[in-house]
Structures are given as structure tokens and as C-alpha cells.
């Protein structure tokens, strides 16, 4: 078993490094090619890279566990934002594609700073981008390290797993850039979708069939199949902040720049929708039917490994490989995105020669992965990382109002005021400096959004009144 | 010029209709939460847990809307935007 896992993971790492080298051979020596593939991505690759990047280790392991633990409340939130996300990408993402093509944008800061004519906005967006990206990369590294150590009974120790993952991901990201990432995303996406479907068959079989399994689960834990309306704000907050995530998270924002044509962009969203639906039903069935045959699980993240361990141990190496692939497919994208955000948004170096920017991008990726791998090896930082990672999407959500303003020619003050006010309100509420919350369980990102929206409306009307 | 504005108008109407369809399905998905016969510990529909089946149907409808959107909304955008 352990030998099989080591063999599969090693073979997979060699494959990703080969793809990185192939991408390097076919690349053009510009930052636009390195970070956004020269805006030449076709529909199939676009759909798969959106899918593989959007669905991380969290989706593969965590979501099934959330369905098991929280039942229909989670299913409602997850299903709604997964299926509405392509709509958000259609409404906003195509505007990003058009503007990106027209003006050569590479990062979120490029578009917002250009629209509002403000370098301060660029810096703020860059800092917020890093807040959204860095903790999430760390969570993936920590997650992969733990899974590999546990599944190999320590043959691959946690530090070795983290270092090997970091080195391999950095290698193909550094030499191949976004093209290598997209090629590996295609394989990674198909792999973990396939293993997820395999998990469904195992779980449904263990439950004694679909109808019997769901009926038994409803008897065992009926509260998992009812919805608490008094707390409707909790799933609605998840839906509100995650639905535009396909556009607002920096590494996904940049994918909106990459389509070869309008046709590619539109078809890519259809591919993403179809694959999202399959994952949605699969993870729901895994979690829901598992209620009928698993009773004492403290950590819901362990649901899928437990199902394989107890009901299909022969396929456990595949599950480990899929987890590994899911994590790498998110780490590589976020790593490259963080590199571009640091260079262009934080340090404002977008006007340097394209070849130099590409070289600098590579150097930053290497520096970042060394830093992050070291952080992942510190056990005392892991608790805070998980908390921060969950807030990353909320921070990215604060870019929605400034983006809407930018796309609708809002006055310059809107960009700066909404960014600062949104981030301030969010941090004041999250850090409990102000003890206040919205009714019905709505979270602090929604409060921040409401403040941003009001300020945007105020300044927009002031501009109209002056005219 | 006149032809362009007609295309633009049709395009915006299709966009709006499509978004309205999504929002309608979103609103409909919430309805059973407020009906005790569907939101109860023993509630079933066609032998399956009621809310689970209802939400699955709503999510499938979202998927259908994406396909419909590709044919009726995306394509009008592609025709409109040009190369």
C-alpha cells in the first residue's frame, strides 16, 4: 500500500515536471505569456483550469465532510454558489476579459488602478490580494503534508511531504509559468473528479444503495435533512461572498483575462458549470449517505479517507494521489498569481521590460515558496493559518463594489473610499474590536459590503448632482 | 447605427431575462424552507429526503440555464462584440 502511494505520487511529480519543461520550451519570453498565457487559452483548457483551480483540497475532502456534518444547510449554500458562480463570471468576468484584452491587464490591481487612476488603489488591492492568497497556499501545503504522512504511516514524513510538494510545484511553475499550470490543471481536474465519482460508488454501496442509504441517514440524523430558517443568514453569507469568488479571487480573476476568444470564454463557463454540477451531486451523496454507516467521526475532513480505509482500501492510493493533485492545482495558481501581484500591484513594477518582468516573476515564485514551506513546517502557525484562510475569500469579496464602480465609470473617490471602508469594517468586526453583528446570522463581509455599497451610491450621486 | 442599437437592445434584454430566470430559481429554491411539511425531520418527496431532492432539482435547473444561456445569451454577445 505504502509502496503504491509512493510510486503514484512520484510518477505524478515526474509528469508535472515534464509538463513544466514542455511548457517552457513552447513559451514566449514575456510577462503576458508567463502570467496569462498570452490570452490564448481555448475553451476546454479554460474550463478545466477554472475547475481545477476553483476546487482545491478543501473541495475534494472538506466539502463531502461538510455535507456529512452540516447536512442540507451546507448543501444549499454550496450548491447555490457553485451553480451561480458561472453567472457571476458571465456578468463580470467577460468585462474583465474585454478590458484585459484591450489594455493588457495582468492583475486585479492593473484594472482597478487604471480605472480609478490611483497607484494607492493598486497597492491596497495588492495587499488584499496577498491576504487572500498566502494563507490559502499554506493551508494546501499543510493539508498535503498531513495526508501523505498519515496515509504512508510516516514513511513520507510531514516535513518531507511539504518540501517535496513545494519543490515540485515551484519547479514547473517557475519554468513553465501559467501554461504548465493549465496543462497540469487539466490532468489534476480529471483525476480528482474521477476519484470523487469513485468515492460516490463506494459510499453508496456501503450504504446499501442510494434510496436505502438516504432513508437510513434521515432516520439516523434527521436534523441533517432539515433547514434552520432562523439562521438563514449563515448559508446566505456563504453564498454572497463565494458566488463572485470566481471573479474576485486574484488567481481566478486572472483566468478571466486568459481566454483566446469570446467563444472560448463562453464555452469554458459551460464546461465549468457541468463539472461543478457533477462535483456538487457527488459530494452531497458522499456526505449524506455516509451518515447511514459512519457514526463516530470527530473531524469531518477525515470522512473521505475513512471511507476508503474501511470500505475500499485497495483504492486508497488513488485517493491520496487525488488529494495531492487537488492541492497542487491550487498552490501553483496562487503562487504564480501572488508573484504577479507582488511585482505589479505591491511594488508597481509593471512598466519594466517584459523579459525582466518574467524573470522577476520566477525569482519571486522561488522566494515565496521557500518562505511558505518554512512557515508550513512551523506547527505553532498552523492554527492561525486555517482561520486566516477561511477569511481569504471574504477579503477578496471586498473588491466587488470597487470593481463594479470601475466597470461603470464611478468617480475616483469610490475606489479608494470603498476599499478602505470595506477592509476597515471587515477587520473591526472580525477582530471583535466592535462587538456587533447583523441579524439572522449574516456575517461581517455582508456588513462591510453594505457600507461599501452605500458609500458608492453616495459618491456616484454626488458626481451626478455636480454634472 | 440603428442596426447596432437594435442588437445592443436585444442583447441587454436577453441578459436581463437570463439573470431574472436565475433569480427566480434562486427564490423558488427557498420556498420549501418555510413549508413545515417539506422542512421536517421525516419529510420525503418521491421516497427521498424532501429538501435534498428539491434543491437537487433547483441546481439542475441552474445547469440547464447555463446551457440555455450559452445558446441564447452568450452567442448574442459573441455576435455583438465581434473579433
C-alpha cell at B7: 442588437
CB contact under 8 A, A83 and B59: yes
Chain B residue nearest residue A231, CA to CA? B33
B12 touching chain A per CB within 8 A: no
C-alpha cell at A160: 518531507
pLDDT of B7 reads 47
CB contact under 8 A, B22 and A87: yes
Tell me which chain A residues have a C-beta less than 8 angstroms from the C-beta of B68: none
B72 touching chain A per CB within 8 A: no
pLDDT of A351 reads 82
CB contact under 8 A, B43 and A225: yes
C-alpha cell at A40: 490564448
DSSP-assigned beta bridge partners for residue B45: B48
pLDDT of A324 reads 84
Name which of B61, B66, B75 to mutate to probe chain A: the one with the most chain A Cβ atoms within 10 A of its Cβ: B66
The pLDDT averaged over each successive group of 10 residues in chain A (467 residues) is 85 88 82 90 92 80 89 93 89 90 93 92 93 86 82 83 90 91 90 92 95 94 91 87 89 93 89 94 96 87 88 90 86 93 88 86 93 85 60 88 90 90 91 81 87 90 78
C-alpha cell at A221: 440524523
CB contact under 8 A, A284 and B69: no
B38 touching chain A per CB within 8 A: no
Minimal CA separation from B53 to chain A, in Å: 10
Q: Is B49 helix (H, G, I), strand (E, B) or coil?
A: strand
B22 touching chain A per CB within 8 A: yes
pLDDT at residue B2 greater than cutoff 50: no
Which residue in A79, A94, A267 is closest to B55 by CB distance?
A79
What letter would DSSP give residue A26?
T
Give Cα separations from A186 to A193, A220, A273, A339, A345 (angstroms). 11, 39, 16, 22, 29
C-alpha cell at B41: 425531520
CB contact under 8 A, B70 and A262: no
pLDDT at residue B41 greater than cutoff 50: yes
A269 touching chain B per CB within 8 A: yes
Residue A343, judged by CB atoms within 10 A of its CB (0-12, 13-18, 19+), counts as buried
Binding-face residues of A in 43-82 toward B, CB within 8 A: 72, 75-76, 79-80, 82
DSSP-assigned beta bridge partners for residue B44: B49
Residue B11 binned pLDDT confidence (cut-offs 50, 70, 90): low
pLDDT of B1 reads 40
Chain B residue nearest residue A269, CA to CA? B66
pLDDT of A411 reads 84
How many angstroms separate the CA atoms of B80 and B73, rounded? Answer: 11
Cβ-proximal residues to A39 (8 Å cutoff; 6+ apart), any chain? A32, A100, A101, A257, A258, A259, A260
Q: Is A305 left (phi over 0), alpha (psi -120 to 50) or beta?
A: alpha
pLDDT tens digits for range A348-389: 887 888 888 888 999 999 999 999 999 888 876 555 555 666
Name which of B21, B60, B62 to mutate to probe chain A: the one with the most chain A Cβ atoms within 10 A of its Cβ: B62
pLDDT of A281 reads 96
CB contact under 8 A, A229 and B39: yes
pLDDT at residue B3 greater than cutoff 60: no
B11 touching chain A per CB within 8 A: no
pLDDT at residue B83 greater than cutoff 50: no
Residue ranges with strand state E in A357-397: none
pLDDT of A371 reads 92
DSSP-assigned beta bridge partners for residue A41: A259
How many angstroms separate the CA atoms of A258 and A36, rounded? Answer: 5
pLDDT at residue B13 greater than cutoff 80: no
pLDDT at residue B6 greater than cutoff 70: no
Looking at residues B7-30, what average pLDDT do you find?
Answer: 80
**Which ranges of A55-157 would DSSP assign to H, the alpha helix?**
57, 63-70, 72-88, 94-103, 108-116, 119-151
What letter would DSSP give residue A155?
S
pLDDT at residue B5 greater than cutoff 70: no
pLDDT of A126 reads 94
Give Cα separations from B9 to B22, B57, B77, B83 (angstroms). 20, 32, 11, 20
Q: Is A245 helix (H, G, I), strand (E, B) or coil?
A: helix
How many angstroms separate the CA atoms of A224 and A46, rounded? Answer: 36
pLDDT at residue B77 greater than cutoff 70: no
CB contact under 8 A, A227 and B44: no
Residue B4 binned pLDDT confidence (cut-offs 50, 70, 90): very low
CB contact under 8 A, B47 and A211: yes
Amino acid at each position: 500500500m505504502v509502496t503504491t502511494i509512493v510510486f503514484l505520487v512520484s510518477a505524478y511529480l515526474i509528469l508535472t515536471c515534464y509538463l513544466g519543461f514542455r511548457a517552457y520550451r513552447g513559451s514566449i519570453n514575456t510577462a503576458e505569456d508567463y502570467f496569462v498565457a498570452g490570452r490564448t487559452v481555448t475553451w476546454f483548457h479554460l474550463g478545466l483550469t477554472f475547475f481545477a483551480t476553483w476546487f482545491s483540497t478543501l473541495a475534494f475532502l472538506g466539502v463531502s465532510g461538510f455535507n456529512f456534518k452540516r447536512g442540507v444547510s451546507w448543501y444549499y449554500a454550496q450548491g447555490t454558489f457553485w451553480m451561480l458562480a458561472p453567472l457571476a463570471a458571465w456578468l463580470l468576468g467577460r468585462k474583465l476579459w474585454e478590458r484585459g484584452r484591450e489594455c493588457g491587464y495582468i492583475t486585479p490591481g492593473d484594472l482597478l488602478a487604471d480605472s480609478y487612476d490611483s497607484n494607492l488603489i493598486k497597492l491596497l488591492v495588492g495587499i488584499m490580494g496577498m491576504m487572500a492568497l498566502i494563507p490559502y497556499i499554506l493551508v494546501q501545503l499543510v493539508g498535503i503534508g498531513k495526508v501523505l504522512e498519515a496515509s504512508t504511516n510516516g514513511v513520507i514524513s510531514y516535513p518531507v511531504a511539504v518540501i517535496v510538494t513545494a519543490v515540485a510545484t515551484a519547479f514547473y511553475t517557475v519554468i513553465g509559468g501559467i501554461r504548465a499550470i493549465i496543462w497540469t490543471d487539466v490532468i489534476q481536474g480529471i483525476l480528482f473528479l474521477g476519484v470523487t465519482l469513485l468515492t460516490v460508488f463506494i459510499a453508496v454501496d456501503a450504504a446499501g444503495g442510494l434510496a436505502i442509504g438516504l432513508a437510513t441517514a434521515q432516520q439516523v440524523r434527521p436534523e441533517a435533512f432539515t433547514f434552520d430558517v432562523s439562521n438563514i443568514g449563515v448559508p446566505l453569507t456563504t453564498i454572497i461572498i463565494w458566488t463572485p469568488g470566481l471573479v474576485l479571487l486574484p488567481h481566478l480573476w486572472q483566468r478571466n483575462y486568459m481566454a483566446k476568444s469570446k467563444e472560448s470564454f463562453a464555452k469554458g463557463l459551460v464546461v465549468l458549470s457541468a463539472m461543478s454540477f457533477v462535483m456538487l451531486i457527488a459530494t452531497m451523496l458522499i456526505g449524506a449517505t455516509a451518515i447511514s454507516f459512519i457514526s463516530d467521526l470527530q473531524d469531518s475532513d477525515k470522512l473521505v479517507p475513512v471511507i476508503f480505509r474501511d470500505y475500499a482500501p485497495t483504492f486508497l492510493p488513488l485517493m491520496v494521489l487525488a488529494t495531492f493533485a487537488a492541492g497542487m492545482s491550487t498552490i501553483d495558481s496562487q503562487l504564480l498569481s501572488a508573484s504577479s501581484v507582488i511585482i505589479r500591484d505591491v511594488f508597481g513594477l509593471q512598466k519594466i521590460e517584459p523579459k525582466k518582468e518574467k524573470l522577476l516573476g520566477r525569482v519571486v515564485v522561488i522566494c515565496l515558496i521557500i518562505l511558505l514551506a518554512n512557515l508550513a513546517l512551523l506547527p505553532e502557525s498552523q492554527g492561525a493559518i486555517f482561520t486566516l484562510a477561511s477569511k481569504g475569500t471574504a477579503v477578496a469579496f471586498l473588491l466587488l463594489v470597487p470593481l463594479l464602480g470601475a466597470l461603470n465609470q464611478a468617480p475616483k473617490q469610490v475606489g479608494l473610499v470603498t476599499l478602505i471602508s470595506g477592509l476597515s469594517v471587515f477587520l473591526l468586526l472580525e477582530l471583535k474590536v466592535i462587538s456587533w453583528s447583523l441579524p439572522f446570522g449574516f456575517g461581517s463581509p455582508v456588513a462591510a459590503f453594505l457600507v461599501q455599497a452605500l458609500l458608492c451610491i453616495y459618491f456616484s450621486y454626488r458626481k451626478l448632482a455636480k454634472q | 447605427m440603428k442596426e447596432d442599437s437594435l442588437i445592443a437592445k436585444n442583447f441587454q434584454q436577453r441578459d436581463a431575462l437570463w439573470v431574472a430566470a436565475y433569480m427566480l430559481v434562486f427564490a423558488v429554491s427557498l420556498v420549501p424552507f418555510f413549508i413545515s411539511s417539506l422542512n421536517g425531520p421525516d419529510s420525503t418527496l418521491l421516497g427521498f429526503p424532501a429538501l435534498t431532492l428539491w434543491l437537487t432539482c433547483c441546481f439542475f435547473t441552474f445547469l440547464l440555464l447555463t446551457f440555455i444561456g450559452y445558446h441564447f445569451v452568450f452567442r448574442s454577445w459573441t455576435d455583438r462584440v465581434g473579433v
